[in-house]
A = this chain, B = another copy of it.
Amino acid sequence: MPETALPGRRAQAARNDVVILDAARQVFLVDPKAPIAHVAERAGVGISALYRRYPSKEVLLCRLCHDGLRRFITEAEAAAEEPDGWAALTGFLRRIVDADVHSLTVHLAGLFTPTPEMGEDARRANELARGLVARAHESGRLRRDAVPEDIGMILECCAAIRVEDPERTTQLRRRYLALLIEGLAADGGPDLPGPPPRPGEMNGRWRPS
Protein backbone atom coordinates (compact mmCIF):
# COMPACT_ATOMS: atom_id res chain seq x y z
CA MET A 1 0.00 0.00 0.00
CA PRO A 2 2.49 2.66 -1.12
CA GLU A 3 1.24 6.12 -0.18
CA THR A 4 2.53 7.78 -3.32
CA ALA A 5 0.40 5.56 -5.53
CA LEU A 6 -2.90 6.61 -4.01
CA PRO A 7 -5.19 8.23 -6.53
CA GLY A 8 -7.10 11.48 -6.48
CA ARG A 9 -8.24 13.07 -3.27
CA ARG A 10 -6.42 10.71 -0.98
CA ALA A 11 -3.19 11.30 -2.82
CA GLN A 12 -3.63 15.02 -2.31
CA ALA A 13 -4.28 14.44 1.37
CA ALA A 14 -1.19 12.29 1.72
CA ARG A 15 0.89 14.88 -0.10
CA ASN A 16 -0.54 17.62 2.09
CA ASP A 17 0.53 15.73 5.17
CA VAL A 18 4.16 16.19 4.29
CA VAL A 19 3.78 19.55 2.57
CA ILE A 20 2.20 21.02 5.68
CA LEU A 21 4.83 19.60 7.98
CA ASP A 22 7.58 20.95 5.74
CA ALA A 23 6.00 24.37 5.56
CA ALA A 24 5.54 24.46 9.31
CA ARG A 25 9.18 23.60 9.84
CA GLN A 26 10.33 26.34 7.49
CA VAL A 27 8.03 28.98 8.88
CA PHE A 28 8.53 28.32 12.58
CA LEU A 29 12.26 27.97 12.07
CA VAL A 30 12.40 31.55 10.91
CA ASP A 31 9.88 32.86 13.44
CA PRO A 32 8.70 30.57 16.25
CA LYS A 33 5.79 32.88 16.93
CA ALA A 34 4.58 33.08 13.35
CA PRO A 35 0.80 32.89 12.87
CA ILE A 36 -0.57 29.60 11.70
CA ALA A 37 -1.93 31.27 8.58
CA HIS A 38 1.64 31.74 7.35
CA VAL A 39 2.14 28.01 7.47
CA ALA A 40 -0.98 27.41 5.39
CA GLU A 41 0.11 30.03 2.90
CA ARG A 42 3.60 28.62 2.58
CA ALA A 43 2.18 25.14 2.14
CA GLY A 44 -0.21 26.41 -0.49
CA VAL A 45 -3.24 25.03 1.34
CA GLY A 46 -6.15 26.47 3.27
CA ILE A 47 -6.32 26.74 7.01
CA SER A 48 -8.77 23.86 7.15
CA ALA A 49 -6.15 21.49 5.85
CA LEU A 50 -4.11 22.32 8.90
CA TYR A 51 -6.88 21.98 11.45
CA ARG A 52 -7.96 18.68 9.94
CA ARG A 53 -4.58 17.29 10.95
CA TYR A 54 -3.75 19.08 14.18
CA PRO A 55 -6.36 20.07 16.73
CA SER A 56 -4.44 23.21 17.65
CA LYS A 57 -1.32 25.19 16.97
CA GLU A 58 0.18 23.93 20.18
CA VAL A 59 -0.08 20.33 19.05
CA LEU A 60 1.60 21.15 15.76
CA LEU A 61 4.40 22.95 17.56
CA CYS A 62 4.82 20.01 19.88
CA ARG A 63 4.97 17.61 16.96
CA LEU A 64 7.63 19.70 15.23
CA CYS A 65 9.67 19.97 18.38
CA HIS A 66 9.45 16.29 19.13
CA ASP A 67 10.44 15.42 15.57
CA GLY A 68 13.54 17.55 15.98
CA LEU A 69 14.37 15.87 19.24
CA ARG A 70 14.03 12.47 17.65
CA ARG A 71 16.30 13.54 14.83
CA PHE A 72 18.85 14.62 17.40
CA ILE A 73 18.69 11.20 19.02
CA THR A 74 18.96 9.40 15.71
CA GLU A 75 22.06 11.34 14.73
CA ALA A 76 23.61 10.85 18.14
CA GLU A 77 23.04 7.11 17.97
CA ALA A 78 24.58 7.02 14.51
CA ALA A 79 27.57 8.95 15.80
CA ALA A 80 27.97 6.46 18.61
CA GLU A 81 28.79 3.84 15.98
CA GLU A 82 31.74 5.84 14.64
CA PRO A 83 34.89 4.32 16.17
CA ASP A 84 36.92 7.54 16.32
CA GLY A 85 35.57 9.50 19.25
CA TRP A 86 36.69 12.86 17.90
CA ALA A 87 35.23 12.25 14.44
CA ALA A 88 32.04 11.05 16.08
CA LEU A 89 31.58 14.29 18.00
CA THR A 90 32.52 16.68 15.21
CA GLY A 91 30.55 14.78 12.60
CA PHE A 92 27.55 14.75 14.89
CA LEU A 93 27.74 18.51 15.39
CA ARG A 94 28.00 19.07 11.67
CA ARG A 95 24.97 16.94 10.92
CA ILE A 96 22.83 18.55 13.58
CA VAL A 97 23.80 22.00 12.40
CA ASP A 98 23.03 21.06 8.79
CA ALA A 99 19.65 19.64 9.78
CA ASP A 100 18.80 22.88 11.60
CA VAL A 101 17.42 20.77 14.39
CA HIS A 102 18.50 22.84 17.32
CA SER A 103 16.11 25.69 16.62
CA LEU A 104 13.27 23.23 16.34
CA THR A 105 13.85 21.65 19.70
CA VAL A 106 14.94 24.68 21.64
CA HIS A 107 13.36 27.83 20.24
CA LEU A 108 9.97 26.18 20.17
CA ALA A 109 10.22 25.07 23.76
CA GLY A 110 8.09 27.12 26.10
CA LEU A 111 5.43 27.60 23.44
CA PHE A 112 3.65 24.43 24.47
CA THR A 113 3.42 22.11 27.46
CA PRO A 114 5.80 19.23 26.81
CA THR A 115 4.52 15.69 26.84
CA PRO A 116 6.02 13.20 29.31
CA GLU A 117 7.34 11.25 26.34
CA MET A 118 9.28 14.31 25.22
CA GLY A 119 10.80 14.67 28.63
CA GLU A 120 12.00 11.11 28.40
CA ASP A 121 13.46 11.69 24.94
CA ALA A 122 15.15 14.84 26.17
CA ARG A 123 16.80 12.83 28.93
CA ARG A 124 17.91 10.24 26.41
CA ALA A 125 19.35 12.94 24.15
CA ASN A 126 21.29 14.33 27.07
CA GLU A 127 22.69 10.95 27.89
CA LEU A 128 23.83 10.39 24.31
CA ALA A 129 25.48 13.80 24.13
CA ARG A 130 27.28 13.03 27.37
CA GLY A 131 28.57 9.79 25.86
CA LEU A 132 29.81 11.54 22.73
CA VAL A 133 31.78 14.05 24.76
CA ALA A 134 33.20 11.34 26.99
CA ARG A 135 34.46 9.37 24.00
CA ALA A 136 35.88 12.51 22.41
CA HIS A 137 37.79 13.11 25.64
CA GLU A 138 39.14 9.58 25.54
CA SER A 139 40.42 10.20 22.03
CA GLY A 140 42.61 12.92 23.50
CA ARG A 141 41.71 15.44 20.83
CA LEU A 142 39.08 17.32 22.80
CA ARG A 143 40.33 20.06 25.10
CA ARG A 144 40.27 18.97 28.71
CA ASP A 145 37.95 21.73 29.97
CA ALA A 146 35.14 20.99 27.53
CA VAL A 147 31.95 19.63 29.10
CA PRO A 148 28.85 17.94 27.65
CA GLU A 149 26.77 21.06 28.18
CA ASP A 150 29.00 22.87 25.71
CA ILE A 151 27.29 20.97 22.93
CA GLY A 152 23.97 22.71 23.35
CA MET A 153 25.65 26.08 23.59
CA ILE A 154 27.69 25.52 20.45
CA LEU A 155 24.56 24.50 18.58
CA GLU A 156 22.90 27.61 19.88
CA CYS A 157 25.72 29.72 18.47
CA CYS A 158 25.40 28.13 15.06
CA ALA A 159 21.62 28.39 15.02
CA ALA A 160 21.98 32.14 15.45
CA ILE A 161 23.46 32.40 11.99
CA ARG A 162 20.67 32.91 9.49
CA VAL A 163 20.35 34.71 6.17
CA GLU A 164 17.62 34.76 3.54
CA ASP A 165 18.94 31.92 1.44
CA PRO A 166 18.74 28.61 3.36
CA GLU A 167 21.64 27.07 1.49
CA ARG A 168 23.82 30.05 2.21
CA THR A 169 22.77 29.79 5.83
CA THR A 170 24.07 26.24 5.92
CA GLN A 171 27.36 27.27 4.36
CA LEU A 172 27.90 30.05 6.84
CA ARG A 173 26.96 27.90 9.80
CA ARG A 174 29.52 25.34 8.73
CA ARG A 175 32.09 28.08 8.66
CA TYR A 176 31.54 29.12 12.25
CA LEU A 177 31.06 25.59 13.45
CA ALA A 178 34.50 24.87 11.97
CA LEU A 179 35.85 27.82 13.94
CA LEU A 180 34.31 26.51 17.14
CA ILE A 181 35.53 22.98 16.51
CA GLU A 182 39.01 24.33 15.91
CA GLY A 183 38.75 25.97 19.32
CA LEU A 184 37.46 22.75 20.81
CA ALA A 185 40.54 20.84 19.72
CA ALA A 186 43.10 20.34 22.44
CA ASP A 187 45.98 22.47 21.25
CA GLY A 188 47.45 23.26 24.62
CA GLY A 189 46.01 26.77 24.64
CA PRO A 190 44.80 28.48 27.80
CA ASP A 191 41.78 27.12 29.62
CA LEU A 192 38.42 28.62 28.78
CA PRO A 193 37.38 31.47 31.08
CA GLY A 194 34.63 31.30 33.66
CA PRO A 195 32.74 28.38 35.12
CA PRO A 196 31.47 25.99 32.43
CA PRO A 197 27.74 25.60 31.85
CA ARG A 198 26.10 23.38 34.43
CA PRO A 199 23.67 20.57 33.70
CA GLY A 200 20.17 21.94 33.46
CA GLU A 201 21.32 25.52 33.32
CA MET A 202 19.47 26.03 30.05
CA ASN A 203 16.24 24.42 31.19
CA GLY A 204 14.51 27.67 31.97
CA ARG A 205 12.95 27.54 28.55
CA TRP A 206 10.91 24.43 29.03
CA ARG A 207 8.06 25.39 31.29
CA PRO A 208 5.21 27.00 29.45
CA SER A 209 4.64 30.60 30.41
**Chain A residues close to B by CB (< 8 Å):** 153-154, 156-161, 163-164, 168, 171-172, 174-176, 178-185, 187, 189, 192-197, 201-202, 204
As for how many copies of this chain the complex holds, the number is 2
**Cα A4 to Cα B183 with chains together (Å):** 47
Smallest beta-carbon distance A171→chain B, Å? 4
**Cα A193 to Cα B178 with chains together (Å):** 7
Task: With CB as the reference atom, state the residue of chain B lying closest to A193.
Answer: B174
The 8 Å CB contact of A175, one of B160, B192, B202, is: B192
The 8 Å CB contact of A176, one of B180, B181, B204, is: B180
Q: Please determine whether B176 and A153 come into contact, CB atoms closer than 8 angstroms.
A: yes
Smallest beta-carbon distance A21→chain B, Å? 26
Write 15 A-B pairs (CB below 8 A) sorted by A numbering.
A153-B161, A154-B176, A157-B157, A157-B160, A163-B204, A171-B193, A172-B194, A178-B183, A178-B193, A179-B184, A181-B183, A182-B182, A182-B187, A185-B189, A187-B187
